[in-house]
Amino acid sequence: MNLREILVLLISFFFLAVTIILTFRKIINYRKNPSRKSKQSSISDNEVKVELESFSEENYLDNDIPPESKSSSNDLMYLHIESDQSNSIQYKDILNYFDSNDINLADEGGWFKIYLDNSNNFSLVNGLKPGKFLPEEGIDSTSIITMILIADEQNNCVEAFQNMAEISYKFAAYWSANVLDSDRNKLTKQMYDHYMQQAEEIDLKKIKLS
C-alpha cells in the first residue's frame, strides 16, 4: 500500500468520524429540547397556580378603605377609635375638632384626608358602613372612626404613623373613646411596637429601592 492509498483511507475515516459525531449530536439535542420545554411549561403552570391561590376577593372588599384608594392590604396601616356610646361622634363635630386644633384636612366626599408635615398624610373614614359620612342621607354620626395610613404615600412612614397614633389618642380622649388596632382590639404597647417595626421596614425598603 503506497502513500496515496494511505492518505485516501485516512481522509475517508475522518469524514466517517465527523458524520458519526454530528449524528450523535443531533440525537442528543433532540432528546434535550423536549424535556427542557416540558420543564419550562411546568414552572409556568405552577406560577399561575400560586397566583390564583393567593387571590382573595376580601382584598378588594374592605369598607374601611376610601373608594379612591387602590393600595393592597399590605400597604395599609389601621387604627380605630370606638366610642362606648352609639352614634356619639358627629360629622360636624369632627370638622370643628380639627379646625380648633389647627390640623389641615380635606373633605374628600364623605371621608377626610388629614395632612401632616413632610408630605405625610392619612385618611379618616366612618368605621361603619357605608364607610362615609353622608349628611344628605342622614348618615352624619357614628360610633367608630377608622384612621388609614397608606404606607407608599408617605415621605417618612415611621413619622407618619407616630403622628397618626398621637392624633388618634387625642381624638379618642376628646370623645371618651378607645383606640383599637386593625383587628379592633384595644391597642397595646406590643401592637404599637409591631406597627412601628412595620413602618421602619417600609422606610428601609424605600431607601434600598431609591
Q: How confident is the model at residue 84 (pLDDT cuts 50, 70, 90)?
A: confident
* Residue 107 DSSP symbol: E
pLDDT at 186: 95
Lowest mean pLDDT across 11-20, 46-55, 89-98: 46-55
Q: Which uninterrupted H or E stretch holds 113?
A: strand 112-115
Task: State the chain's mean pLDDT as an integer.
Answer: 77
Residue 3 has pLDDT above 80, yes or no: no
How many other CB atoms are there within 10 angstroms of residue 159's CB atom?
A: 16
Q: Do 111 and 123 meet the contact criterion of CB atoms below 8 Å apart?
A: yes
Check if the beta carbon of residue 78 is closer than 8 Å to that of residue 181: yes
Q: How much is the average pLDDT of 111-139? A: 91
Q: Which is higher by pLDDT, 9 or 133? A: 133
For the chain, what is the total number of helices (H) and then of strands (E)? 4, 8
